[in-house]
Amino acid sequence: MAIDLGILLGNKNPPLVGLDISTSGVKLVELSDAGKNEYRLERFASEPLPRGAVVDGNIENLDQVSEAVRRVWKKSGTRARHVALGMPPAAVITKKIILPAGLSEDELEVQVESEANQYIPFALEEVSLDFDVIGPAQNAPEDVDVLIAATRKEKVEDRVAVAEAAGLKPLVMDIESYAARAALDRVTAQLPKGGQGQIVALFQLGAQVTHVSVLQDGQAIYEREQPFGGNQLTQDIVRAYGLSFDEAESKKRAGDLPEGYERELLQPFMENAALEITRAIQFFFTSTPYTHIDQIFLAGGCAIIPGLVELVAERTKISSSVVSPFKGMQLAGNVREKQLRAEAPSYLVACGLAMRRFD
């Protein structure tokens, strides 16, 4: 579900890039239509952010973030200036409500505002509010399910300001977890029987938090965030080798660390990650009526740590794989395949945002 921030003029799908702003960096993806419901990956690029520029999804240093956006846009080589941005799930209140079918857009808006008043702990004038009619309500054909999404205006304005300061024009504001889900839907459609009926768990291992989504037939049946991420490994490196945080982060990415690093720091971190995932699954079973998961997907920067996915499969006894949102896509000639293979799992949100071009 996306808040449309502008009317798309001209041709049906003008170039629009997905721009994912996270705690650790900025990622950009541009897709094009390759015909027959297929996409082509035109370009992708990332740029790290200084520590503290984005904290808990809030933009703390507008200049640093807009500078990183400017650099990633230039590095990618895209000419598209229209962007789709994402809000962190924790910053957005979502609620499914049931309304009578057949209401006009204006009537829907009035109803949504009066319903939203009950669920949103802020004054409506402080909020960016959007809604999406999902379809007929399950047990009442004369009603429709409507999804409401609301966030503080200032949080939307911060992201818009960052993009505009970098010379870009925001057209769509999405929720990061919804963008990730849209990108994952393409991948699950490539499972046997198109993934129909399968229960899939997505673990997005970020810098500070791990976002857990359990999905069935594209619908989220369970979501939560856990305070575990790659920064914990960086902090371990800081303590063990007396480096600054930024030095530790860059040496971690480059694999430029002393001999005992893998045994003393990386292996315990991986065990910890597998334990967090196992606990999250147990929590899902105890707090919902569900008793099994068919497939685990790992995404995010930590997902590509060699051996992690095998460890997760071993600990959980569930089929596990690292997700590539670009699986089955055509690749433009300038896309570096080796780099793409190494980095693809961290582009799940950016890819989902880029797919908004075709909505």
Residue 40 CA to residue 32 CA, distance in Å, equals 5
Say whether both 33 and 179 belong to one domain: yes
> Do residues 290 and 230 share a domain?
yes
Please check whether residues 60 and 169 belong to one and the same domain. Answer: yes
C-alpha 226/C-alpha 210 separation (Å) is 5
> d(Cα 18, Cα 56) in Å, to the nearest integer?
20
pLDDT for 45 equals 97
Residues 165 and 227 in one domain: no
Class of residue 212 by CB neighbours under 10 A (exposed 0-12, middle 13-18, buried 19+)? buried
Tell which residue, 297, 305, 284, has the closest CA to residue 203: 297
Together in a domain, 172 and 210: no
Pair (203, 345) in one structural domain:
no
Alpha helix (H) residue ranges in the chain: 62-76, 105-119, 153-165, 176-188, 231-241, 245-254, 261, 267-287, 308-316, 337-343, 348-354
Q: What is the pairing mode between strands 169-175 and 2-4?
A: antiparallel
Segment-wise mean pLDDT, segments of 10 residues, the chain, 359 residues: 41 81 96 91 95 91 97 96 94 89 88 85 86 86 88 93 97 93 93 89 95 92 94 96 92 90 96 97 96 96 94 97 95 93 95 94
Tell whether 46 and 101 lie within a shared domain.
no
pTM, full prediction:
0.91
Domain extent at residue 136: 91-153
Could you tell me the CATH number of the domain that includes residue 100? 3.30.1490.300
Measured distance CA(221)–CA(200) in Å, rounded: 10
Provide the CATH number for the domain around residue 339.
3.30.420.40
Return d(Cα 59, Cα 274) in angstroms, integer. Answer: 30
Tell the burial category of 294 from Cβ atoms under 10 Å away from its Cβ (0-12, 13-18, 19+).
Answer: middle
Together in a domain, 159 and 62: yes
CB atoms within 10 A of CB 323: 27
Do residues 164 and 230 share a domain?
A: no
CA triple 227-231-235, angle to 5 deg:
115
Considering the domain architecture, whether residues 314 and 345 belong to the same structural domain is answered as: no
197/308 same-domain check: yes
Q: Within this chain, do residues 77 and 143 fall inside the same structural domain, yes or no?
A: no
Q: Under the phi-then-psi rule, with left for phi > 0, alpha for psi from -120 to 50, and beta for the rest, what region is 193?
A: left
Domain count, the chain: 3
